[in-house]
Amino acid sequence: MQIEERVRELVEEKIADRSDLFIVRIKMHNNNILEILLDGDAGIAIEDCAKVSRHVGFHLEEENVIDKKYRLEVSSPGIDTPLLLYRQYAKNKGRDIRITQLDGTKREGKLLEVSESSVLINERIKEKGKKEVLQQSEVPMENIKETKVLISFK
């Protein structure tokens, strides 16, 4: 069994009674860092990450799943981490996002709606010499390379 598969089972076991929490990503990096990214529909508390870390760490040691030194990191996705899952898009409705499409073009706007197949944004369009206008645009998920939430310090 792959390390990531066993870790996913352990995390799912620990958060089974918390339908608001979900796994974003589990990855064993080449530098022996085992990364577990968790999130929640209304965010996630540090204590939740600590509980998952203790549970996973205990079982990995007991079962001797990893036979080399490693570092376990359990956290929520950072502000610079792209949105990966439908649930992350859904919890960020109403926020400004930047979408990088597969062809490299970037689009920015307020995330209005999300479905499994597309996102609807209130896009800011600025043409040279003209005033910025807002336009609703639907972007198919299959065209999205990366989406990040934009943070405003206004």
Contact predicate 112/137, CB 8 Å: no
* pLDDT computed for residue 1 by the predictor: 57
* pLDDT computed for residue 91 by the predictor: 93
* pLDDT computed for residue 113 by the predictor: 97
Token digits of residue 20: 């608001």
Percent of the chain with pLDDT over 70: 99
Tell me the fold of 86-149. Answer: SH3 type barrels. (2.30.30)
How high does pLDDT run on average in the chain?
93
- Options 3.40.50.2300, 3.40.50.300, 3.30.300.20, 2.40.70.10; CATH for 3-75 is 3.30.300.20
Token digits of residue 128: 């040279």
Residues contacting residue 53 through CB under 8 Å, at least 6 positions apart? 36, 72, 74
* Cα dihedral: 10, 14, 20, 23 (round 10): -20
Residues contacting residue 128 through CB under 8 Å, at least 6 positions apart? none
- Per residue in 88-136, pLDDT (tens digit) is 999 999 999 999 999 999 999 999 999 999 999 999 888 788 888 889 9
pTM above 0.75?
Answer: yes
Amino acid found at 5: E
Token digits of residue 32: 């022996």
